[in-house]
């Protein structure tokens, strides 16, 4: 029976589900409630007491930082552990969160192991005592969801792309792909300026070129010699939206596909489905899509 209560706050339901699943599987003594933004979280926290808050930074209506500032002004939440889970990992933001009283900082995308370690660190003896009282081990069961996804995609230590037919003649219109079997000097001209994307996973980063993008998903092409994720793995896509600004879009791996029909293909197509519901992020994505379309004509 659950004896502790945690509040999970994120505008993306996919991320909330990942956090709740990890907590439920590894710490069955913790009951989870979720909120889609800081304003909703504030309302829930005013009506009930929580022992732990796991919160995103960038959300509509009230950000994670604003919620943290409000929390630390409430006597009942002055010392309650607050873990900021966010794609913002630069030093300035970390320092800002620390100044406001954050207990721990976890970057997106995160692994179940990474999240579990942070929870154990901030909850300390209180969590250990609750687990022991409930006859549970601090080492929770394996994440069955991720294990199933790994089996479906045959994910290994040295991952190989799935052998699927190509969606089109990718190599003829993308200079990144031309380097796989030709000299760099023989690359065909691109239709427009390349849009580079850095796709971050819990334990690796994929350097790639944007092949197609819309408000729902992005398809990128990457060289096979990198470490590839599995289907349904969390991802954060960093894209340059212009004016020196970088958009950090949360998503998950929807599809992995070989670029051509050869088993030893040099390039892999990765489709990332976006999960953000923040209007600001959607606005940034819209600007990038418009610029991408204009450059591809």
Identify the band that residue 156 occupies on the pLDDT scale cut at 50, 70 and 90. Answer: very low
Domain count, the chain: 2
Mean pLDDT, residues 205-214: 93
Residue 70, CB-side half-sphere exposure with 13 Å CA sphere: 15
Return the minimum-mean-pLDDT range out of 94-103, 187-196, 273-282: 187-196
pLDDT at 239: 83
Domain shared by 67 and 21, yes or no:
yes
Q: What is the CATH number of the domain that holds 10?
A: 3.40.50.2300
Given 94, 123, 141, the domain boundary residue is: 141
Percentage of the residues of the chain whose pLDDT score is greater than 70: 78
Mean pLDDT, residues 68-88: 94
Identify the band that residue 149 occupies on the pLDDT scale cut at 50, 70 and 90. Answer: very low
Question: Residue 72 above 80 pLDDT?
Answer: yes
Domain shared by 116 and 37, yes or no:
yes
**64 CB contacts (<8 Å, ≥6 apart)?**
9, 38, 55, 56, 57, 58, 84, 86
Per-residue pLDDT of 79-102, as tens digits, reads 999 999 988 766 777 888 899 999
pLDDT at 245: 78
Q: Is the peptide bond before 109 cis (omega within 30 degrees of 0)?
A: yes
Per-residue pLDDT of 21-47, as tens digits, reads 999 999 999 999 999 999 999 999 999
Domain shared by 136 and 167, yes or no:
no
Given 121, 141, 161, the domain boundary residue is: 141
Question: Residue 195 above 60 pLDDT?
Answer: yes
* Tokens read off for 249: 């879009």
pLDDT at 1: 57
pLDDT at 185: 31
Given 141, 176, 192, the domain boundary residue is: 141
Identify the band that residue 278 occupies on the pLDDT scale cut at 50, 70 and 90. Answer: confident
Per-residue pLDDT of 159-192, as tens digits, reads 344 334 333 433 333 434 333 333 333 333 334 4
Q: What is the CATH number of the domain that holds 246?
A: 2.40.10.220
Domain shared by 274 and 249, yes or no:
yes
Mean pLDDT, residues 214-241: 91
Higher pLDDT, 56 or 155: 56
Domain coverage including residue 90: 4-141
Mean pLDDT, residues 61-76: 95
What is the residue-wise DSSP string for 47-107? Answer: HS--SEEEE-SS-SSS-HHHHHHHHTTSGGGTTS-EEEEES--SHHHHHHHHHTT-SEEEE
pLDDT at 279: 86
Instruction: Residue 36: name the closest of 61, 64, 9, 63 by CA.
Output: 9
Domain shared by 201 and 225, yes or no:
yes
pTM of the entire predicted model = 0.72
Mean pLDDT, residues 262-273: 90
Mean pLDDT, residues 141-160: 40
**Average predicted confidence (pLDDT) for the chain:** 81
pLDDT at 174: 40
């Amino acid at each position: 029976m659950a004896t502790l209560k945690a509040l999970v706050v994120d505008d993306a339901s996919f991320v909330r589900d990942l956090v709740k699943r990890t907590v439920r599987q590894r710490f069955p003594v913790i009951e989870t409630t979720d909120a889609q933004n800081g304003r909703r979280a504030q309302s829930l926290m005013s009506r009930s007491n929580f022992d732990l808050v796991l919160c995103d930074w960038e959300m509509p209506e009230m950000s994670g930082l604003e919620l943290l500032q409000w929390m630390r002004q409430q006597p009942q939440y002055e010392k309650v552990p607050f873990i900021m889970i966010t794609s913002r990992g630069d030093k300035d933001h970390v320092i800002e969160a620390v100044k406001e009283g954050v207990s721990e900082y976890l970057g997106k995308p995160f692994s179940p192991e990474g999240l579990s370690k942070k929870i154990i660190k901030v909850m300390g003896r209180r969590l250990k005592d609750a687990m022991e009282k409930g006859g549970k081990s601090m080492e929770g069961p394996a994440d069955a969801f991720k294990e199933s996804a790994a089996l479906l995609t045959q994910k290994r230590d040295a991952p190989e792309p799935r052998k699927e037919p190509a969606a089109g003649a990718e190599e003829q219109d993308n200079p990144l792909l031309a380097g796989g079997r030709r000299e760099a000097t023989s690359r065909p001209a691109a239709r427009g300026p390349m849009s580079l994307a850095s796709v971050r996973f819990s334990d690796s980063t994929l350097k790639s070129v944007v092949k197609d993008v819309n408000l729902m998903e992005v398809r990128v092409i990457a060289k096979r010699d990198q470490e590839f994720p599995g289907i349904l793995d969390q991802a954060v896509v960093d894209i340059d939206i212009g004016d020196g600004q970088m958009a950090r879009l949360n998503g998950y791996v929807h599809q992995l596909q070989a670029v051509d029909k050869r088993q030893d293909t040099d390039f892999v197509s990765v489709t990332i489905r976006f999960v953000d519901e923040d209007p600001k992020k959607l606005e940034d994505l819209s600007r990038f899509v418009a610029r991408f379309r204009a450059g591809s004509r």
